[in-house]
Amino acid sequence: MIIDCSSCPVRELHCDDCMVPALLALPTADLPLDAAERAAVTAFVSAGLVDRVEAASLRARQEPWVGARAVG
């Protein structure tokens, strides 16, 4: 789906009510690592590629397209 404000039929009339900014907003919450991510971090620590202190503070971020559905 392509969203183009220049072709919006209510451009500048209903911009305050537009859902596009809500759909495109990036998630800000950090998530805990899942089992596979923890295993990967443990492997990196064991190999000396990541410091244990740094590994303990790692968090996951959800990509904006995860869980998105195609419309149309």
* Euclidean distance between CA atoms 48 and 34, whole angstroms: 21
User: Which position has the token pair 């800000």?
Assistant: 28
Query: Are residues 26 and 56 in contact, defined by beta-carbon separation less than 8 angstroms?
Result: no
pLDDT 10s digits, 16-62: 888 877 777 655 667 889 999 999 999 999 999 999 999 999 988 77
Query: Which has the higher per-residue pLDDT, 19 or 66?
Result: 19
* pLDDT of the residue at 36: 93
* Euclidean distance between CA atoms 64 and 26, whole angstroms: 6
pTM of the model: 0.49
For 31, phi then psi, to 5°, come to -115, 155
